[in-house]
């Protein structure tokens, strides 16, 4: 029985290390690619589109989220060095919270911009098609908003402490918090709820507009082959996949976070699972956006 527990524990540790390495390695590579994809027009002297501006901010936020949260947890998984100090915990947790909230806000900005550019007959909304100055300040607001709403993190987060009766030495790598867990947890999730609501509404409305437009102009499109699809269909698929991916991973992470904060359950596997779920969207979303970019050669079925 002891041997089986040892085997299961060793297997879990290997899976944990592999997951963190894959998330950090591939996630960083994908976000750097996404950043270069959307900065390249400026490097060649062209004007950035509004979506390029938003995706540039998203790539930076994803990179910060991956590095601020992934590297310390990978250090803990591999037992590379001493635990983070109190200052290190403050910096890491604050940076991760700001980056995560900025990712959510920028995704919301992207969804709403796509919705407004498709509304016919309104000149002021049509400006969003060609003026990157409109979403640019919105993304800057996302960073400022994330920094201000996370200001309580450095005050309350401290260095690693005893993880209760859990004896695994990896537990001493995780920071602790003196925040009143239930009240602050509910309060801090309110802005996220608003952003997710706006994102789902804008994305659903966009998909509806694209579907109606596709039905009206379906007789104009000439089939190019069994694997061809219209730009409207491709855009609708991208919007749906991006929003569904974010909502699924966010809700799963929220469930684990709620359980940890309310029931004060600080088992190591719960903390690690919560962190893996938090890093899933910054890892997956750049792959989705790069592969669905019109400049990327691909097959659409």
**Residue among 45, 28, 33, 23 nearest 293 (CA):** 33
Q: Does residue 244 carry a pLDDT above 50?
A: yes
Mean pLDDT of 204-222: 70
| Domain chopping of the chain, boundaries | 25-216+227-291
The rounded Cα 117 to chain-centroid distance in angstroms is: 24
Note the pLDDT of residue 163.
47
State the pLDDT confidence band at 133, using cuts at 50, 70 and 90.
low
Angle (CA) 131-139-43 rounded to 5° is: 60
- Strand pairing partners for 157? 177
Q: What's the fold here for domain 25-216+227-291? A: Rhopdopsin 7-helix transmembrane proteins (1.20.1070)
In the DSSP assignment, the letter for residue 118 is T
The tokens describing 49, both together, are 């589109």
Average pLDDT score over residue span 183-188: 64
Going by their DSSP bridges, the two strands 175-177 and 157-160 should be labelled as: antiparallel
Beta-bridged to residue 177, according to DSSP, are: 157
Beta bridge partners of 176: 158
User: Which residues have CB under 8 Å from 42's CB, separation 6+?
Assistant: 48
Mean pLDDT, range 171-175, rounded to an integer: 59
**Distance separating alpha carbons of residues 60 and 66, to the nearest angstrom:** 10
Q: What is the mean pLDDT of residues 221-239?
A: 59
Task: Assign 271 a pLDDT band (cuts: 50, 70, 90).
Answer: confident
Q: Extract the tokens encoding 105.
A: 């806000």
Task: Determine contact, residues 166/267, Cβ cutoff 8 Å.
Answer: yes
Cα 48 to Cα 34: distance, rounded to the nearest angstrom: 14
Write out pLDDT tens, residues 68-86: 887 776 666 665 556 677 8
Residue ranges of the alpha helices (H) in 44-85?
A: 50-78
Window from 1-5, 86-90, 226-230, 286-290 with minimum mean pLDDT: 226-230
> At residue 301, does pLDDT exceed 50?
no
Q: Is 287 exposed, middle or buried (0-12, 13-18, 19+ CB in 10 A)?
A: middle
Tokens of 70: 């992934």
Residue ranges in the chain assigned as alpha helix (H): 2-43, 50-78, 86-117, 123-126, 135-149, 152-156, 181-216, 231-263, 268-291
Would you state the pLDDT for residue 276?
86
Can you tell me the distance from the alpha carbon of 186 to that of 181, in angstroms, rounded to the nearest whole number? 9
Determine the angle formed by the axes of helices 135-149 and 86-117, rounding to 10 degrees.
150
> What is the per-residue pLDDT for 236?
64
């Amino acid at each position: 029985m002891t041997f089986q527990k040892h085997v299961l524990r060793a297997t879990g540790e290997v899976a944990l290390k592999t997951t963190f390495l894959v998330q950090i390695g591939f996630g960083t590579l994908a976000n750097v690619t996404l950043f270069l994809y959307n900065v390249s027009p400026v490097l060649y002297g062209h004007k950035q589109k509004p979506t390029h501006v938003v995706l540039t901010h998203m790539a930076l936020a994803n990179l910060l989220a991956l590095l601020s949260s992934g590297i310390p947890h990978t250090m803990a998984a591999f037992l590379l060095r001493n635990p983070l100090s109190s200052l290190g915990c403050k910096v890491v947790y604050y940076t991760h919270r700001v980056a995560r909230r900025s990712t959510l806000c920028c995704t919301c900005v992207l969804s709403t911009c796509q919705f407004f550019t498709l509304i016919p007959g309104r000149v002021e909304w049509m400006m969003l098609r060609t003026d990157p100055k409109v979403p640019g300040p919105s993304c800057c607001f996302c960073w400022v908003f994330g920094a201000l709403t996370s200001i309580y993190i450095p005050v309350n987060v401290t260095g690693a402490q005893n993880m209760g009766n859990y004896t695994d030495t990896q537990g001493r790598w995780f920071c602790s918090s003196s925040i009143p867990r239930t009240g602050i947890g509910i309060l801090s999730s309110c802005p996220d709820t608003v952003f997710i609501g706006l994102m789902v509404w804008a994305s659903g409305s966009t998909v509806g507009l694209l579907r109606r437009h596709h039905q009206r102009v379906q007789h104009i499109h000439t089939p190019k082959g069994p694997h061809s699809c219209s730009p409207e269909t491709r855009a609708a698929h991208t919007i749906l996949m991006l929003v569904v991916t974010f909502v699924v991973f966010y809700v799963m992470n929220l469930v684990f976070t709620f359980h940890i904060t309310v029931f004060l359950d600080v088992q190591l596997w719960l903390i690690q699972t919560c962190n893996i779920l938090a890093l899933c969207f910054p890892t997956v979303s750049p792959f989705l956006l790069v592969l669905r970019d019109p400049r990327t050669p691909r097959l659409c079925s």
